[in-house]
Every structure is written in C-alpha cells, then in structure tokens.
C-alpha cells in the first residue's frame, strides 16, 4: 500500500479516521472500503424512536393545528377555527414570550430534525471508515430537498433520507429515483403536490394548473441533465404526466397522511410525448413509464458518472474514469453497487492528487471522529449554518456544491478556523496532539504540519492546527 | 436561502456571532454542595495558567542587572530610552501595562517570584504544561491534575461533601482532572483565545499549500477591512473584556455559599516568537488584559479577599536574549505572581541567577533558582492547611527534595 492510500481511503472516500482507524484499515484500502458496504442494510437507519413519514407527517399536522388554535385563542380572534376531528385529542400549545411554540407531547419540525441529526451522529461516530455514509451524502445531495421550503420538508427531511435514499444506495438507481419522486418531502419541496392538470376534473373545477418544478428538476438535476437535448415542451409534457402525483394531506384522507397517492382527479388526461417518445398509458402508469425511461437514458449514465467522479475524485475528474463509470452504469441499467465498485477499483480514484476541500459537513464529521467528540445537535446546526452547509437545507434544488472553489473561499476559511478552535476547546480528548496527528495520518503527515503542531502554544491550538492542516482539509 | 428557523444572523454571521453564541452551549456541571458552617476560615485558592510561556523578563525586568540592556536590546524596557516600567524595588521594575497589580503590590497584597520554573527542563509547550498541571516530575506521568488531588486532600472543616473545583474553561483542563468533582463554566460569549492561530496557519499553508495560504490571507484581509480586526485598540478592548469577564464570573462562583473553593483559569496567547511588543504591542495588550482580570478577581472576591490566594503560573520562560524577529523563543525560568489578601506581598522573591553568558541556563535562558512546586507547597500548607507529607506524596509526588517556600502567606 502506498502510504497515502490509507489516508485517501478516509479523506476521499470516508469520514476521516478515528484514533486507531488508520492502523486497523489494513494493507488493502480499496477492499476495506468495499467490505464496509458489503451488507447494504448496514446503511439503513432503523430506529424505533424515529418516526416514518406517515407518523412524522401526522405529528406535524397535529403540531400545526395545535399552534393554530393557540394563536387564534391568544389573539382573541372572533373567527374561531371551525372544529376538526383531530382537535379532540390535541394537547394545548404553549406560546412562549419569544414566540416559540411548544405542544406537549407533539414534536415540532425542529424536534424531528434534531432527532434525525442525533441518529446521523451516532452513525458518523461509529462507522469504521464512513464510505457508506459518504455515498448516502452524495445521493441525498443529488436528490436534494430543501428544509427551507416549508415545515413539512423540515420535519420529513430525515425520514426522506432513511426511506428514499439509504435503502437504494447499493441497489438500482431507478428504484431510488422512484422512491424519491414519490416521497412527500420531494413532492412538497418541489411543489408537485400543488400541480394540477388544467384539463383534469380538479383543474376544470378550480382553474388551477401546472407546476413544472419537479418535472424540470427531475430531468435537469436528477436524471438526464441539462445538456440531454430536451426542450421546454418536454418539461411541460413531463409535468403534465406527473400531475396527480402527490401525498395524502387533505382533511378527507387522513388514512393517506404522509403517503404517496395518485389523485386521478388532478391528473392531466391524454397522451404525452417526452423526449421523442409517446406515452399513451392512463393514470399513474404514464409517469412510471417516463421515469423508467429517464433513469436508464444514456444521458443519465453520463450525467451521473460525471457527478459521482467529481464528488469523490476531482473537480475535473479524469475523462477515462468518467467514461468507465458511465459504461458501467449503462450496461448494468443503473446498478449503484456496480458503479460504486467500479469507482473504488479505478486506479485514477487513487492516483489523482487531493485537490478538493472537505465540505463543511465532511469537516465537522471528520473532526468529531478524530477527537471522539460528540457535539450537540444545536452546535451542529449552528456550526454547519455558519460554515454554509446546513443539513438538508441547500440553497437550491441542485444541492450543495462540492468543488474546491466553493469551499476554499476567504470568508469560508476564516469561519472554518473559528470552528476548528471552538471544536478544539470543547473536545475533551486526553491524547497528546502530536501522538494524535501521527495516529491519524501515519506516514501521510507532512513535516510542515508536524512542525506546526509541535510548536503550538497549547494543546487546543495544536488541535486547531491539526484540524486546519492541509492533510485534514484536502481530499 | 431563507428559512424561518435559520435566522439572518446565522446566515450572514461573521466569525464573531458564531463564537458569541457558542458559549451558550456550555452547561453547568453538577455542583456538589459543601457546608462550611462552624469553620473559622473559608479560604479561596485560584490558579491562573498563562499558556504559551510568559516572558518573565518583559513583565518584571531586572533593570538593575548590568547585563540586561544588551541582552534584551529592543525589548529592554525600563532601561534608558524605554520608559514603560514602574519600580518594584531597586533591582526590579514592573511592566507599566499592569497598574492593577502594582496597586496590589503597594498594598502588600501581591508578590513576584522571579527565576521560577517547574521541574521540566525541555522546551515543548505540551510537555511543559503537562508537568505544570500534573505536578509530576516529568511529562505524561499522570492522568490527574494536582489541583484535583488537592481537592481530595484539602481539610474539609465541618463539610461532609468533597471539595469541588471550578474550571473556567469549556472542558476540564488537566490540572483539575481526576476523581474529585469539578464543574466547568465559561462566559456566554467567551472567545477561546486571542490566538495567533491564523498566523501559524498562514505560515503552515505558505509552506505546504500555497493556494490555501492565498485564500486564508484574503479572508483575514477582508475581515480587517470589515472592521473586525484593524483597530488595535478595539481588538485589545475585546481581549480585555473577555479576560475580565472570565475572572469576574469565576469570582462570583467562588463567593457562593456552597460553591467551589478552588478554581483554575487559563489565558492563552503568550507564545511571543515574533514582534513581542512588550512596551506597545501584543504582549503589552495581553498584560493589560491580564491586569484587568486580576483587578476583576480582587473586586469580585472582596468579601473573602483576606482569605484569598491566587497564584499565576506559566509552563516555562523565554530566551534571555531576543531572537531575530523582535521576539523570544522557548526558555526556562520566568516569573510567577501571587496575589490576594492572604498573601504577604510587596516583595520580589528571587535568588537572582544573573544574566551573564556563564550564568544563563544552557547559555541561553534565565536559570531557574526557585521551583514552582516550592511556591505552591508553601501556599497550600500555610493557606489551606495541607500537611507537608501529603503535599510531598499526593499533590506533588516525589517532591521530597523541594522544600515549601516559607512566609508567603500573611
């Protein structure tokens, strides 16, 4: 093994080493990565205390309703809310002086999200390398939902990742894409829940119409990519195909709360043509057919291979690597285990210099692992917010960028130094920073970094320097 | 990007707001109660650690030593051409940045021990601080700190519960680690350090990753332009406020009826390799801030001042001569300060080793003539009533050869 390969396994492909991890890795880093993900269920997060989308959505509705009732009451509004069946079992919401609303026994969207963050942290601190979690991070970001969109997305973002991403990271891309496009978090994040076929019964009755958001992004971001040669007409047609794809949220269908449903009465009737192919199927089958074609379109293979290689290897990945990954994706019809294996077994994945920078999330997780430090959810939210990569809340449906130019930026770097100092002051570790640096990087530790750590004026400063060293930051 | 739960302040926050809010996460440890009813004295004991190695010769310069001016060149404050000292006695001056300490000295409540050092003779900060905090004869010999062991052997008076220590840091520092209970506290907007971490990173990046150096430099410059660091007065003000806040808060906790009785505070930033600035500049700013913290302790502990002893220590000193960058490198002996109403002050205690080349330790450092453990043993014995055998075996193991310094306590 080349000395750097062990380090690369942790930086390029993993979440960074914990003390002892580099030694435990063994002499074949590529095999160690594949061993970690041999069992696909090891990526699942299945905890009884984390509600699925159905339960979480039901709770969110109760929370919102309790808050609404309390607010109407506190303003002594004359328009008292019309009673609803759910009101009977609803605890009374408490509105604090600062406006914060709590409903006893009912989690707020932020409570739900913080519980999800705690579960991620358990995973982050306990996986041997973190390759599986990095794959999850890539696909979650690929199919980005935006917590900023609304409370429902915030409350469901974690469940979305557990239900639509994790089960398929080593399965078929098409299965993941379908789970995503039918998940309440995505349906509401990209507004398909309010898209109505103009000529559907509901459209005729209400005058409501199309919302193209999900249709466009599914083509542009999730599958074939913006250069695939489709037109605005294709986008509009696909949006029509997707009308009626929503989730149970109406007062009249509480049994469907938080589940994908197809509302025939909102579906645009008729044939549609998408990217030159005619889709005559009625109802939900029409959308299933288009999705099945998009996910196996050769343009999707090219688009995803480039993204995958860019995320893991380099901002401008070697062309041969991208071509090879695209071929694998196409030949296997989107088998993500095959894609992942091909990446790890590609010589370019190991020989390309580490020119990317860890993203803020990768940086925080790697710091937590290196120092065996468990930050509180509030600390994570605050740090990742300041660093510019808040969990499940990217600035656009495109997700967070992963290129060096985005993160290796002046203000981002000074903030990173502050976070490094803060983490260093809060992490309890007993290790001598010099021993820790050797343990984490082995022969990969540069003499410059070693000297800087040796000369630090305090343990805290030494830890901050270690966390900010090029070998810790670059990947 | 807008979201109801990510506030504008978080999105656009400068480094300052992040740090400001983060302190709020620090929680109180469980605080065991301690009853003092019926006990005549209820002494307080504090240790202040200056991390990074304080240049004792720049704080208490031996202005009466004929070899001092030449050795110190541009850092020779208190000699002709450098006015920034006040007189402690006919041999030692005190850096003018410390009027509060000078006032205490005049009142007989502050004492300087010069040419002091721990038993550690190498020059690594970590190992030096390790020895200072464990109280052992060498580095990495203990997982527990001497103040924690002190807590477990301190006479309890009528109290039934163990003495608890206070660590004015986000986590428990080595000096207070161990079985005895310790609580941690930091002010809400505690800024961890006036650190030169940015400079050190710039230096590292310049050698190891020029692109990172370029970007970080741009970030630092932007912050300065944005008014976050250009104005040295403003920066010093922030530093002083932060130092003072830590001291004032700790004093308050030590006053509590059933609060902690011993405490450890740390201040970082003393590793002055370049542009030391003993007269005007970095060290002067740090000393002024430290002086403010001393005054805050004196003010805050006023009700128990007569039973308070505070010892200020650093891991080692700095080179006797200046280096090529108007700074000083890692050395050996330095100054320790003692102050408090219980201290028999108004004196400089020093078995002065001299500054001639032959008198320097390894031809470069102020030679150590007083062991820091001798100071501490004297204070702990006479102020807290801990017996000598206990001090020699439990608090500072294997220190039988280090005799307690007599007469430090009034």
pLDDT band at residue B211 under the 50/70/90 scheme: very high
Q: Which of B143, B197, B212 sits opposite A465 (nearest CB)?
A: B197
Q: Each residue of B235-264: pLDDT tens digit?
A: 445 778 888 988 999 999 999 887 889 999
Span of A178-182, A328-332, A459-463, B333-337 with lowest mean pLDDT: A459-463
Contact: B215, A459; criterion CB under 8 Å: no
- Which residue, A247, A242, A267, is CA-closest to A257? A247
Angle between helices A360-371 and A109-126 (to 10 degrees): 60
Instruction: Enter the tokens of residue A128.
Output: 């041997």
Percent of chain B with pLDDT over 70: 83
Query: Does A86 or B352 have the greater pLDDT score?
Result: B352
Q: Which whole number is the average pLDDT over A226-241?
A: 95
Span of A73-82, A312-321, A356-365, B96-105 with lowest mean pLDDT: A73-82
Instruction: Enter the tokens of residue A96.
Output: 């604090």
The residue assigned the tokens 């249709």 is: A215
Contact: B13, A386; criterion CB under 8 Å: yes
The mean predicted confidence, pLDDT, of chain B is: 84
Contact status of B134 with chain A (Cβ, < 8 Å): no
Contact: A385, B10; criterion CB under 8 Å: yes
pLDDT band at residue A166 under the 50/70/90 scheme: very high
* H helix or E strand, kind and range, residue A135: helix A131-142
User: CA–CA separation, A458 vs B52, rounded Å?
Assistant: 6
Q: Which whole number is the average pLDDT over B302-308?
A: 96
pLDDT band at residue B11 under the 50/70/90 scheme: very low
Quick one: B203 exposed, middle or buried, by C-beta within 10 A (0-12, 13-18, 19+)?
A: middle
pLDDT band at residue B27 under the 50/70/90 scheme: very low
DSSP secondary structure of A79-102: SPPPP-GGGGGPPPPEE-TTS-EE
Q: How many CB pairs under 8 A join A and B?
A: 155
Quick one: A338 exposed, middle or buried, by C-beta within 10 A (0-12, 13-18, 19+)?
A: middle
Mutate to test the interface with B, among A457, A461, A466 (most CBs of B within 10 A): A457
- Does the structural domain B44-192+259-395 have CATH classification 3.40.720? yes
Instruction: Enter the tokens of residue A241.
Output: 């195909």
Q: Which whole number is the average pLDDT over A48-76?
A: 91
Percent of chain A with pLDDT over 70: 98
Q: What is the pLDDT of residue B54?
A: 97
Q: Which of B143, B208, B220 sits opposite A448 (nearest CB)?
A: B208
Judged by CB atoms within 8 Å, which residues 334-393 of B form the interface with A?
none
Q: Each residue of B142-161: pLDDT tens digit?
A: 999 999 999 988 886 555 55
Q: What is the pLDDT of residue B28?
A: 29
- Sign of the alpha-carbon dihedral angle for A64, A65, A67, A72: positive
* H helix or E strand, kind and range, residue A298: helix A298-312
Query: Distance from B140 to chain A by nearest Cα, in Å?
Result: 9
Q: Which of B193, B204, B216 sits opposite A448 (nearest CB)?
A: B204
Contact: A412, B11; criterion CB under 8 Å: no
- Which residue, A196, A296, A289, A188, is CA-closest to A239? A196
- Pairing between β-strand B334-339 and β-strand B308-314 as defined by DSSP bridges: antiparallel
Contact: B10, A379; criterion CB under 8 Å: no
Q: Each residue of B35-72: pLDDT tens digit?
A: 333 445 789 999 999 999 999 999 999 999 999 999 99
For the cut 80, the answer to whether the pLDDT of residue B194 exceeds it is no
Quick one: B160 exposed, middle or buried, by C-beta within 10 A (0-12, 13-18, 19+)?
A: exposed
User: CA–CA separation, B269 vs B240, rounded Å?
Assistant: 13
CA angle, B246 then B250 then B252, to 5°: 120
* H helix or E strand, kind and range, residue A380: helix A377-387
HSE toward the beta carbon, residue B99, CA cutoff 13 A:
0
Q: What is the pLDDT of residue A99?
A: 87
Task: Fill in the DSSP letter of residue B155.
Answer: -
Span of A112-116, A176-180, B11-15 with lowest mean pLDDT: B11-15
Q: Each residue of A255-264: pLDDT tens digit?
A: 999 999 999 9
For the cut 60, the answer to whether the pLDDT of residue B14 exceeds it is no
Mutate to test the interface with B, among A388, A425, A436, A455 (most CBs of B within 10 A): A425
Q: Each residue of A139-156: pLDDT tens digit?
A: 999 999 999 889 999 999
Which residue in A has a C-alpha nearest to residue B220's C-alpha? A414
Judged by CB atoms within 8 Å, which residues 200-219 of B form the interface with A?
200-201, 203-205, 207-209, 211-212, 215-216, 218-219
- Pairing between β-strand B165-168 and β-strand A260-262 as defined by DSSP bridges: unpaired
pLDDT band at residue B354 under the 50/70/90 scheme: very high
For the cut 90, the answer to whether the pLDDT of residue A415 exceeds it is no
Chain B residues inside the 8 Å CB shell of A356: none
For the cut 90, the answer to whether the pLDDT of residue B135 exceeds it is yes
The mean predicted confidence, pLDDT, of chain A is: 94
Q: Which whole number is the average pLDDT over A375-390?
A: 92
Domain ranges for chain A: 3-39+357-473, 53-106, 190-296, 298-351
Phi/psi for A260 (5° steps) reads -65, 135
For the cut 50, the answer to whether the pLDDT of residue B386 exceeds it is yes
End-to-end CA distance of chain B, in Å? 64
Q: What is the pLDDT of residue B190?
A: 54
For the cut 50, the answer to whether the pLDDT of residue A95 exceeds it is yes
Instruction: Enter the tokens of residue A293.
Output: 């074609």
Q: What is the pLDDT of residue A80?
A: 66
Instruction: Enter the tokens of residue B193.
Output: 């350090």
């Amino acid at each position: 093994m080349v000395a750097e390969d062990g380090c690369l396994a942790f930086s390029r492909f993993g979440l960074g080493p914990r003390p002892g991890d580099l030694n435990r890795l063994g002499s074949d880093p590529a095999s160690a990565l594949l061993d970690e993900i041999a069992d696909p269920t090891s990526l699942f997060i299945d905890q009884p205390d984390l509600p699925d989308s159905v339960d979480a959505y039901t709770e969110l509705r109760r929370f919102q309703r309790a808050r609404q009732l309390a607010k109407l009451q506190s303003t002594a509004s004359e328009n008292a809310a019309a009673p609803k069946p759910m009101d009977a079992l609803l605890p009374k919401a408490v509105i604090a002086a600062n406006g914060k609303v709590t409903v006893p026994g009912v989690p707020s969207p932020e409570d739900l999200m913080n519980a999800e963050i705690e579960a991620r942290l358990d995973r982050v601190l306990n996986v041997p390398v973190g390759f599986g979690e990095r794959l999850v991070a890539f696909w979650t970001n690929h199919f980005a939902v935006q917590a900023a969109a609304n409370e429902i997305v915030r409350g469901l973002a974690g469940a979305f990742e557990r239900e639509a991403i994790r089960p398929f990271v080593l399965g078929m891309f098409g299965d993941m894409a379908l789970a995503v496009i039918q998940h309440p978090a995505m349906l509401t994040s990209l507004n398909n829940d309010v898209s109505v076929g103009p000529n559907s019964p509901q459209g005729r009755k209400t005058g409501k119409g199309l919302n193209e958001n999900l249709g466009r992004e599914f083509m542009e971001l999730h599958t074939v990519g913006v250069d695939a040669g489709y037109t605005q007409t294709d986008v509009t047609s696909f949006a029509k195909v997707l009308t009626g794809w929503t989730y149970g949220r109406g007062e009249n269908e509480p049994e469907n709360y938080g589940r994908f449903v197809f509302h025939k009465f909102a579906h645009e009737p008729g044939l549609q043509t998408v990217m030159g192919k005619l889709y005559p199927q009625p109802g939900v089958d029409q959308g299933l057919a288009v999705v099945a074609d998009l996910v196996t379109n050769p343009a999707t293979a090219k688009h995803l291979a480039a993204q995958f290689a860019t995320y893991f290897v380099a901002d401008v990945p070697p062309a041969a690597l991208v071509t090879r990954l695209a071929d694998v994706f196409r030949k296997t019809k989107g088998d993500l285990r095959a894609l992942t294996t091909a990446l790890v077994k590609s010589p370019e994945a190991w020989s390309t210099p580490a020119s990317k920078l860890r993203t803020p999330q990768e940086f925080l997780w790697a710091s937590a692992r290196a120092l065996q430090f468990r930050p509180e959810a509030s600390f994570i939210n605050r740090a990742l917010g300041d660093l510019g990569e808040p969990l499940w809340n990217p600035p656009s449906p495109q997700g967070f960028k992963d290129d060096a130019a985005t993160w290796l930026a002046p203000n981002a770097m000074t903030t990173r130094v502050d976070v490094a100092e803060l983490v260093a002051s809060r992490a309890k570790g007993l290790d001598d920073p010099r021993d820790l640096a050797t343990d984490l990087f082995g022969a990969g530790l540069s003499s410059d970094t070693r000297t800087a750590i040796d000369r630090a004026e305090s343990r805290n400063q030494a830890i901050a320097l270690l966390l900010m060293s090029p070998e810790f930051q670059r990947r | 990007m807008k979201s109801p739960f990510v506030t504008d302040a978080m999105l656009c926050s400068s480094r300052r707001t992040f740090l400001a809010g983060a302190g709020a996460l620090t929680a109180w440890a469980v605080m065991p109660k301690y009853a003092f009813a019926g006990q005549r004295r209820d002494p307080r004991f504090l240790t202040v650690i200056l991390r990074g190695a304080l240049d004792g010769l720049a704080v208490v310069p031996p202005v009466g030593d004929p070899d001092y001016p030449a050795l110190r060149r541009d850092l020779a404050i208190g000699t002709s051409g450098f006015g920034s000292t006040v007189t402690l006695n006919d041999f030692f001056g005190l850096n003018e940045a410390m009027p509060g300490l000078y006032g205490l000295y005049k009142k007989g409540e502050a004492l300087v021990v010069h040419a002091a050092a721990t038993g550690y003779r190498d020059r690594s900060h970590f190992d030096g601080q390790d020895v200072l905090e464990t109280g052992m004869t060498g580095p990495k010999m203990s997982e527990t700190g001497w103040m924690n062991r002190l807590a477990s052997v301190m006479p309890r008076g009528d109290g039934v519960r163990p003495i608890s220590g206070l660590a004015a840091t986000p986590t428990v520092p080595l000096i207070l680690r161990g079985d005895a209970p310790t609580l941690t506290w930091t002010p809400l907007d505690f800024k961890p350090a006036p650190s030169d971490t940015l400079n050190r990173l710039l230096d590292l990046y310049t050698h190891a990753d020029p692109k990172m150096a370029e970007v970080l430099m741009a970030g630092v410059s932007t912050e300065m332009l944005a008014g976050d660091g250009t104005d040295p007065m403003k920066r010093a003000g922030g530093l002083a406020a932060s130092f003072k806040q830590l001291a004032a808060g700790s004093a308050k906790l030590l006053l509590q009826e059933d609060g902690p009785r011993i405490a450890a505070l740390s201040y970082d930033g003393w590793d002055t390799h370049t542009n030391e600035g003993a007269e005007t500049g970095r060290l002067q700013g740090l000393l002024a801030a430290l002086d403010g913290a001393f005054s805050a302790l004196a003010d805050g502990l006023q009700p128990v001042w007569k039973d308070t002893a505070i010892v200020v220590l650093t891991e080692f000193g700095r080179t006797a001569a200046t280096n090529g960058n108007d700074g000083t490198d890692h050395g050996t002996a330095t100054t320790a300060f003692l102050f408090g109403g219980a201290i028999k002050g108004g004196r400089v205690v020093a078995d002065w080793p001299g500054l001639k080349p032959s008198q320097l330790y390894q031809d470069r450092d102020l030679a150590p003539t007083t062991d820091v453990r001798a100071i501490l043993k004297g204070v702990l014995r006479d102020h807290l009533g801990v017996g000598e055998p206990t001090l020699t075996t439990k608090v500072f193991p294997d220190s039988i050869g280090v005799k307690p310094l007599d007469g430090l306590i009034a």
